[in-house]
Amino acid sequence: MLGQICSAKLDLMLVLDGSGSGQICSAKLDLMLVLDGSGSGQICSAKLDLMLVLDGSGSGQICNANLDLMLVIDGSGSVGDVDFAKVLQFAEKLVNAFDIGPDLTRVGVVQYSDYSTLEFNLGAHGDKASTIAAVNNIVYQGGGTATGEALEYTRVNAAWRAAPVPKVMIVVTDGKSADSVMAPANALASSGVDVYAIGVGNYDAAELMAIAAQDQGKVIELADFNALNAEIEHAQFAQTVCVVAQQPKPCASNPCQNNSNCVSINGGDAYECRCFPGWLGANCETLDYCRNQQCESGGTCMNQPTGFVCSCPPGWEGTHCETPSCQNTVSLCGNSPGWPDIMFCSVSHVLAACPEFCGTCTCPTNPECKNGGSRGNDPNLWGEDTCKCACVGSWTGPTCEVCSVHCDVFVGSVDPTTCTCQCFDGWGGPTCTDFVGH
Give per-residue pLDDT as tens, 154-204. Answer: 999 999 998 888 999 999 999 899 999 999 999 998 888 999 999 999 999
SS3 category, 195: strand
Name the residue type at position 185. A
pLDDT surpasses 70 at 416: yes
**Highest mean pLDDT range out of 69-83, 362-376, 385-399?**
69-83
**Highest mean pLDDT range out of 80-94, 344-358, 404-418?**
80-94
From CA 317, how far away is CA 245, in angstroms rounded?
56
- Of residues 15 and 155, the one with the higher pLDDT is 155
SS3 category, 240: helix
**211 backbone dihedrals φ, ψ, rounded to 5°:** -60, -40
Count CB-CB contacts under 10 A for residue 169: 23
By the 8 A CB rule, do 386 and 361 touch? yes
SS3 category, 33: strand
User: If we measure between CA atoms, which residue out of 8, 15, 10, 72 comes closest to residue 46?
Assistant: 8
- pLDDT value of residue 56: 31
- pLDDT value of residue 305: 84
89 torsion bin: left (phi>0), alpha (psi -120 to 50), beta (else): alpha
- pLDDT value of residue 178: 94
- pLDDT value of residue 438: 65
Strand partners of residue 218: none
pLDDT surpasses 90 at 219: yes
By the 8 A CB rule, do 291 and 280 touch? no
User: If we measure between CA atoms, which residue out of 222, 240, 100, 245 comes closest to residue 173?
Assistant: 222
- Of residues 431 and 55, the one with the higher pLDDT is 431
- pLDDT value of residue 263: 82
pLDDT surpasses 80 at 396: yes
**pTM of the entire structure?**
0.51
Query: Helix 80-96 to helix 128-136 angle, to the nearest 10 degrees?
Result: 170
